[in-house]
Amino acid sequence: MNPITEVEQIVEQVDRTAPGATTLELWVPSQLRLRGIPVPLDIAMAVILDRVWSFDLVPDGFVEGNGGRTYRYKRR
């Protein structure tokens, strides 16, 4: 499996796994690119969170990891 380096990869993962889910976990590396350009993590998270919210999921914490975080989301 190729490592995640692009915001678009995470958004695609949300699109595949979030429909109908009551919970969701996403690994988000601390360095990401958007449309091939490096972006600050807060910008990347805004794009990711917008997609997560579209499935009526809300943040439920995170766990620090080596090189990123695992974010948890749950149904409202």
pLDDT digits (tens, 9 = 90+) for 1-14: 568 999 999 999 99
Lookup: tokens for 16: 């595949």
> pTM higher than 0.85 for the full model?
yes
Q: For 15-70, what is each residue's pLDDT tens digit?
A: 999 999 999 999 999 999 999 999 999 999 999 999 999 999 999 999 999 999 99
Amino acid occupying residue 62: F
Name the nearest CA neighbour of 33 among 15, 17, 47.
47
Locus of tokens 């380096």: 5
